[in-house]
Structure 1
Amino acid sequence: MAAVEGSDPIATRAPARSRGSWLALCTAAAGYCLTVLIFYPGYSTADARYVYADAMAWHFGDWQSPAMAVLWRLIDPIAPGSPSMFLLTAALYWLAFGLLAFLAARRSLWLGLAAALVPLVPPAFFFVGMIWRDVLFGVVWLVAAVLVFVAADRSARLRAPVQALALLLVALGVLLRPNALVAAPILAAYVIWPMRFDLRRLAIAFVPALVLFYALVPFVYYDLLRAERQNPPHSIMVFDLGGITHFSGENQFPVAWSADQTALLTSKCYDPVRWDTYWHVEPCPFVMRRLERPNDTIFGTPRLVEAWWQAVSKHPLAYLSHRATFMWQFLAGSNLVLPVWDWLDPAAGYGRSPYFTPLVALHDRLQPTLLFRPGLWLALAIAAAVFAWPARSTPAGAFTIGVTASAVVYVMTFFVVGVASDFRYAYWCVLAALAGGVAAMLARTHRVAETPSGQDSRDSSPASVNTSRM
């Protein structure tokens, strides 16, 4: 009997899994330390500096996210300035991937270690030190999904608080990035039903959830925080009017331009990379100067909305051509990744660390490659969802489909609302593709693995449970 017990693989599996899981967690912890070493104190981008100023003044506008400003004000005493937001972002980033690696290691040591190293993939890792709401949004949603994945097979009493926290994080993501409200119901549905993905339940819940998230933004922005209305949606309309003018060959702005200005608007002003050429970048900043003229303001008024609607109605093909051109640039073009020009100034206070400069050099080599094309990560997210679809009735399959489907929908919202093609706008898709890929491997591994007879049910994990339990 002793000989049989000594050779029993079941008796040794649990300790081996435990060691693998803790090794994966230690690897993730080392990754966090490496992140701090390379990026500290974090780079406060131009957008972030506006947010921080609003936070310190406790006076908010809606051009940037007032929710991010409130959060920054709350955590600022920990390490005033950029370090507080950087440390929070890095901690959330490695918490999410560390927990995912912990779960993966319970199925396979090598998969667990791979999951712990995945966060070092350049597109994801490069942004952890950059303080942008797009980065914070991505890590917040990733943490929400992973926390529920960890708790998926626990009792309802233990799972419910985690789900409540995750729903709050999903809502925070919408407040950080309001265009995420279309993708939020997909992730929220996963949070509520993490054991399996069901299209019918998602279809039933989608519209009510969409309405709730849609109502949440103005309630928090304007009713609770009294944010100043700065009309960010009108930047979309200016970009669209410029695009329709370019593709139709006719002025669509509610302004009578000079002949030279009209010629510029139909030829040189349009840039699918960004709308800034109509704002403060040559050759056409005269557009916003006129639209914001104090004695006859058009930007932020119904006149601009009416002009936009008339232009789209009259020239739908020009509108679609403009939007398709922008989307192609966003998904397949070479776009801004890191704000490297900020660090070229010898007086720059960031970017001189001997640990950071090699990363910038690596960025310069990789930025022109396919690795930094959002279209690649969109395709990978779709592939992960397709790969996990046969396992959609498992927690790992549901996780994969939940995060990747929300990421795909989120990226596609930029077809309508995008005004710049920076890579950072696809950051949630990068994280979802990486995390979803790990979970998809877990889901498919479980489908092909044979569960040994007599296995202790307590040794199960969200990666290995196959049940339709709510």
Structure 2
Amino acid sequence: MAKLSIDISVNVSPRTALRAVLAAGLLVMLGANLPGHLSYDSVAQLYEGHFHIRETWGPALYAWVLGFFDRFIPGTSLYVTVSAALLFGSLAAMADLRPRTSWWGVLMAALVALTPQLMIYQGIVWKDIMFADCAVAGFVLVAWAGRVWPDKVRRWTLLIAALVLMAAGAQVRQNGIIAGGFAALAVGWIAAQGSWRRGIGWAVGALIALVLVGGAETTFSEPPKAPTDTALSTGLRIVQSYDLLGAIAMDPNYKIDKLSEADPAAAAIVRARAKADYSGRRVDFVDRDTAIQAGMNALPDKAFAQQWIDLIIHHPGLYLRVRWEDFRWVFAPPVIDWCLPVYVGIDAPIEKMAPLGLQHRFVQSDVMLSNYASWFLDTPVMNHAFYFAVSLVLAGLFLWRRQEGDVTMAAMQLAAVAFSASFFIISIACDYRYLYFSDLAALAGLLYAAVDPPLPWLKGPMRKPS
């Protein structure tokens, strides 16, 4: 009897394997996290989006986005799926920006997909995650626009999509405009084609469009009869009072003349309680002290603003000491466990959850995810300072090579660095999520670099746009 032999060979390219790894990572992430993890902030914004009202000073656009997806499938399952698919799809699209894909890219894709930043954070319903996903996707779209620049239809389609995403990100994360600004610079570089005037024109035009589209998105998302948005003034007051409490706590001899002139008794209470209540970890500790809260509430915004300006102009050394104490906690927290490194489950006041059909949740799968994250807490994987350094190195390598897509990817890394640095001025709490974009941008940059390593002995020919 003749033997029948069948020879089946499968030839899988690195690019195909990279896409398969990221697709599998997306499915595993969704299976482990859906319908999503919601803290009080998440539930409050979903509540606003569902009922078309405005009760908090969280971004109106984020509430609208959550409400939009909630109309199709109640809750946040659809939102989490779409947001995560946007990120994973963007990471997969980076492979096509290079003329070749190495197997190192496949390995890096697997490692990136396994980090808590993707495996868990993509399932958390926070505006910080939406901003990061929109920003990374926006940079990838700009890079693709550069690749197809001669094709006007494809170019403008990609640039408009990038503009909408970048503008949305800037509206849900106040300092998210930084990412949009660097994306505008990348557009200017691509469009310049040897003419610096043309490049400046494109960059300025992109930045103006970013501001206009962002404003339109927020206006569109505001519910009917919404109260006046006081987020900016409220946030400024919090930063000013936090800085002043820190200055008083660090230097008992610092004079708060402006506050004393406005209300001597209230100023005396603030001075007496500042040292006990101030912590670089977070401003929230002040809320626990009703005495200092009463004193601060009695002082007008104008007095805080004047005293804060006095601190910066006449006591810059003290101001920088305060800011460094606040910044070090968010950038490189001495004890990461105190800075909400991960959040799983669902928890909020029942009066907010019941109308949405939500229930408190912390089940075995949440416990497992929390345990999984704990493996990485004291490693570089969960260290903003590490990713800050990674972004600086990657930006240098990409700018050295300056091939197709490199300048845009370098712009994303520099945006991550600038975004982290901005918290030296605005930090009021050390929650890990605040610098999530910086981590994600560095991880995306590592994947892009691994796809076609920017090393001298591997430097390949420039591929013309297609």
Q: TM-score range by the shorter chain?
A: 0.7 to 0.9
Counterpart in 1 of 2:293?
Answer: 288
Contact 1:240–1:319 under 8 Å retained in 2: yes
| Residue of structure 1 in register with 2:228 after alignment | 228
User: Which region of structure 1 is more displaced relative to structure 2, 34-43 or 106-115?
Assistant: 106-115
Please report how far the alpha carbon of residue 69 of structure 1 lies from its aligned counterpart in structure 2 after TM superposition.
1.1
- Asked if 1:126 is matched to 2:120, the reply is yes
SS in 2 for 1:232: helix
Match of 1:38 among 2, 17, 32: 32
Match of 1:169 in 2: 165
| CA offsets 1:154-197 (integer angstroms, 9 cap, x no match) | 24232221111101111111101121223421122324555899
Match of 1:351 in 2: 362
Residue type matched to 1:305 in 2? Answer: A
| 1:238 aligned counterpart, secondary structure | helix
**Is the CA contact (8 Å cut-off) linking 1:178 and 1:217 kept in structure 2?**
no
- Measured at CA, do residues 213 and 239 of structure 1 come closer, stay the same or move farther in structure 2, by a change above 3 Å? farther
One-letter amino acid of the counterpart of residue 372, structure 2: L
Residues 210/192 of structure 1: CA separation in 2 closer, same or farther (3 Å cut): closer
2:419 counterpart (398, 402, 410): 410
How many residues get paired?
Answer: 430
User: Relative to structure 1, is the Cα distance of residues 415 and 272 closer, same or farther in structure 2, using a 3 angstrom cutoff?
Assistant: same
- Equivalent residue, structure 1, for 2:320: 320
Displacement of 1:465: 3.6
Deviation at 1:30, TM superposition (A): 1.3
2:17 maps to a residue whose letter is: L
Distance 1:216 1:285 in 2: 42
Secondary structure of residue in 1 paired with 2:122: coil
Query: In structure 1, how many angstroms separate the alpha carbons of the residues matched to 2:213 and 2:56?
Result: 14
Question: 1:216 offset after TM fit, Å?
Answer: 6.3
Query: Is the 8 Å Cα contact of residues 243 and 319 (structure 2) preserved in structure 1?
Result: yes
2:250 is equivalent to residue 247 of structure 1 = yes
Distance in 2, Cα, partners of 1:268 & 1:404:
39
Residues 1:338 and 2:342 are matched in the alignment? yes
Aligned partner of 2:22 in structure 1 is 28
Match of 1:436 in 2: 445
The AA in structure 1 aligned to 2:293 is M
Q: Does 1:179 align with 2:188?
A: no
8 Å contact 1:323–1:416 — kept in the other structure? yes
The separation in 2 between residues aligned to 1:24 and 1:62, in whole angstroms, is 42
Q: By how many angstroms is 1:260 displaced? A: 6.8
Whether contact under 8 Å (1:134, 1:427) holds in the other structure is yes
> Given the two structures, how large is their TM-score scaled by the length of structure 2?
0.80
Task: Determine the structure 1 residue equivalent to 2:151.
Answer: 156
Judging changes above 3 Å, is the alpha-carbon distance between structure 1 residues 60 and 76 closer, same or farther for their aligned structure 2 residues? same
Matched to 2:138, the amino acid is: A
Match in the other structure for 1:459: none
Alignment of 1:78-97 (within 5 A): 78-97=72-91
Cross-structure match for 1:380: 390
CA spacing shift, 1:363–1:74, aligned 2, 3 Å: same
> Offset of 1:136 from its aligned partner?
0.9
- Residue aligning to 1:144: 138
- Identify if the C-alpha distance between structure 1 residues 220 and 289 changes in structure 2 by more than 3 Å, giving closer, same or farther: farther
Structure 1 CA distance for aligned equivalents of residues 131 and 69 of structure 2: 16
Query: Paired residue for 1:273?
Result: 281
Report the CA distance shift for 1:128/1:285 in structure 2 as closer, same or farther (over 3 A).
farther
Q: Per-residue deviation at 1:21?
A: 2.6
1:309 aligns with 2:302: no
Query: Does 1 or 2 have the higher relative contact order (CA < 8 Å, sep 6+)?
Result: 2
| Aligned twin of 1:389 | 399
Distance in 2 between residues matched to 1:116 and 1:99, nearest whole Å: 15
The 3 A distance-change label for structure 1 pair 428 and 224 is closer
**Residues 52 and 69 of structure 1 are in contact (CA less than 8 Å); yes or no, is this contact kept in structure 2?**
yes
Q: C-alpha separation between the residues in 1 aligned to 2:110 and 2:95?
A: 5
1:64-83 correspondence runs (5 A): 64-83=58-77
Q: How does 1:200-211 map to 2 (within 5 A)?
A: none
Q: Distance in 1 between matches of 2:372 and 2:130?
A: 23
Provide, for residues 374-421 of structure 1, a one-character-per-residue CA deviation record: whole Å limited to 9, x for no partner.
1111111111111222112x1232132011011111111111111111
Worse overlay, 397-406 or 435-444: 435-444
CA distance in 2 between counterparts of 1:102 and 1:67 reads 32
1:212 CA drift (Å): 6.1
Q: What is the letter of the counterpart of residue 349 of structure 1? A: H
Q: CA deviation at 1:315?
A: 2.3
- Kept in 1, the 8 Å contact 2:240–2:308? The answer is yes
Identify unmatched segments of 5+ residues in structure 1.
1-14, 452-463
| Mapped partners of 1:214, 1:287: distance in 2 | 38
Partners of 1:351 and 1:142 in 2: CA distance: 30
- Cα distance in 1 for residues equivalent to 2:86 and 2:190: 21
* Equivalent-residue separation in structure 1 for 2:66 and 2:322 (angstroms): 37
Q: In the TM superposition, what whole-angstrom CA distance separates every residue of 1:239-275 from its partner, at most 9, and x where no partner exists?
A: 112112222324645543486753331x221110111
Instruction: Kindly provide the amino acid, as one letter, of the partner of residue 62 in structure 2.
Output: M
Q: Which of 408, 420, 423 is the equivalent residue of 1:399?
A: 408
| Aligned partner letter, 1:426 | L
Range with greater deviation from structure 2 (176-185 or 198-207):
198-207
Is 1:396–1:442's contact at 8 Å kept on the other side of the alignment?
no
Q: TM-score, normalized by length of structure 1?
A: 0.80
Is the Cα contact below 8 Å between 2:341 and 2:433 reproduced in 1? yes
Please state if 1:57 is matched with 2:51.
yes
Range with greater deviation from structure 2 (423-432 or 73-82): 73-82
Please report the RMSD computed on the Cα atoms of aligned residues, expressed in angstroms. Answer: 3.5
> Are the equivalent residues in 1 in contact too, given 2:387–2:442 (CA < 8 A)?
yes
User: How much does 1:214 deviate?
Assistant: 5.7
Tell me the alpha carbon deviations over residues 103-160 of structure 1, each in whole angstroms, 9 at most, x when there is no partner: 5694224424533542322334331111111111101111112233345322423222
Provide the residue aligned with 1:457 in structure 2: none
